[in-house]
Amino acid sequence: MLFDLVIGHELTHGFDSNGRHHDQFGNQRLWWHPNTVDRFIKKSSCMIMQYNNYTVKIHGETLNANGLLTLGENIADNGGVKQSYRAFRRSQQQRPNEFYLPGLNMTHDQLFFLKFAQSWCQIMTDEGMIDALKTWRHSLGKFRVIGTLSNFAEFSKAYGCQPGTPMNPHEKCSVW
């Protein structure tokens, strides 16, 4: 499943805030129709604002994530989990018992999302976190999980998240 996530993530980069400026040969070229660019910018602004609202408290100070800096990776995370989930569901239909774990009272979908969340576990020093918030193009691991899964209706359905809660907001951001 982790392989599917990586493939989906990387493929989505071809259509993110950076990939949209390169054609199928990797040449820098504006190849999208202007209407597509307009829709992309509008949908991207939702994701920028969403991630800008994520905060961490370090040394008594509240620091915000930078949704613009991390936009390309956030788009890839969100698109990648969708592609991986689709592949997982197709595989599940062909081999329904393959992903079953005895003793765990979790559905196959819940296990899928648990694995996704576990893939972003990280331990960082406060200084490392400050540096990451200022310079990294990837969101902090917990924001990658919260941001991606709160935008994905299938997650909310799998875990029974009530509408309007943090993990099932009324407004979900989706670029693709």
The residues annotated with a catalytic role in the active site are 10, 77
Q: Are 55 and 62 in contact (CB under 8 A)?
A: yes
Place of tokens 């569901």: 89
Strand partners for 165: 168
Radius of gyration of the chain, Cα coordinates, nearest whole angstrom: 17
* Helix orientation angle between 108-118 and 71-94, rounded to the nearest 10 degrees: 150
Report the C-alpha gap between 5 and 55 in whole angstroms. 25
SS3 60: coil
